[in-house]
Structure 1
Amino acid sequence: MKKAAIIVAGGKGARMGASIPKQYLEIGGLPVLMHTLKVFFDFDPEMKLVLVIPETDFEFWKALCEKFDFKVPHDLVPGGKSRFQSVKNGLGSIGWGEGLVAIHDGVRPFVKEEVIRNSFQEAAKNGSGIAVVPLKDSIRKLTDSNESFFQEREYFRLVQTPQTFDLAKIKQAFDVTELRHFTDDATVYEHQGWQVSLVAGNLENIKITTPEDMDYANYLIEKHKD
């Protein structure tokens, strides 16, 4: 079965406070995005890789690839005004109709190959494979009247990426008008009335967003060298 991965990196990185978007910042001697692409390439060198970034960044990204001698093959696709539109553009660039596709945040470079593998296997069986991790902290639900109520954390999960799907079904799911509650790809899939299937993610699979995340990312890079 054909496989593809759409790596989405359309953010401007405002919370990072850096001069360039977070996906291009260096950790361990390479821009974040290159680490992310390499994980998927190492998992399956035959997989089609689609990188979705702002079209205005294309020349900058090509210059980075030349600077770092980055040879992992991938297609560049222009992002949209929202994550939904960026993913939709990525899906539209995949010319074949049947297969599996993983959708992954470009600033999650520490996903384990085991998680990628399990997400594809689950999607092949049940149509979707969404990486999630359990909560460590206690949680409370807030009301509009500023009251709060205890919630049993064992019934909740934190959602990560990759979120992997049957290609035909996720293409159909994205062929709709964007809605406010589409916070990730799983919610778009669910909007069709389909139940999502979950797989265990890995706690190191953080989404790099803040300077503190960069500090932790550099720590993880050094840890993996040991």
Structure 2
Amino acid sequence: MGEQEQFWLRALNFVLDNPLVLLALAAAVVLLVVAAIAAYVYFVWILPGQVGRAVTTKLYEATNAADAQGRRVELTAGAKFMKQRDIAPLASRGMAQAAEDSVGSKVMRPTWGMRLSTVLMAAAGVAVLFFADMGLDPEWMVFIKPAAVGVALLGIAHVFSFEMRYDRDVIISQSLIQFRREIAWRDLVDIRDEGNGVYRLTSADGKKMRVQKYMTGMSDFLTRAHGAIDGRGALA
């Protein structure tokens, strides 16, 4: 028997002759196994989720406007339940651009990123219908394709023509395919993020106005809107 084998044999005899040492070794083995399992769970299951949430939060903050105090529009209950937090790196490009001044009013228009993303999505949707095999009856496709083109063009027309303007008294929104809507600042009681690129404004009488969120000058508008809502609450 070599020296190494003799050493391990003496060590084994020592451990067997000392129950406390045996228990300590058993406890150490258990701790190592538990630590290995915990490390596996953390690095495989928990850490990726934490990193994903952190990245999502950063992207959300980077692509959604905030007012002068850093406050963003709160999600509606439905958007929270459906986890509809908009992250639109392209559509949000251009929000830092100031709204236009027009005879005492501020005129907000969709950002260039929103317009470009609308065109790209519309083109992609139409391209799929025209070039991909959808497995649909050719007779139906004769009607579906023109209808899809029409819907795509209407969507583009709505986005490109949409504008929101406000002065010291009222907020107005309209587009080529949307009737004029307005809410007085003094009646504004709430603003919420519905997801899908839409803010919902609510007046004291329950009237609602839905507007696009990716607009030029949005930060200044949110500052004004939150100020009006906070001021109304202070007077209530």
Q: With the length of structure 1 as denominator, give the TM-score of the two structures.
A: 0.28
Name whichever structure is richer in helix by fraction: 2
Q: Which has the larger radius of gyration?
A: 2
Name whichever structure is richer in strand by fraction: 1
Q: With the length of structure 2 as denominator, give the TM-score of the two structures.
A: 0.27
Higher relative CO (Cα under 8 Å, sequence separation at least 6) belongs to 1
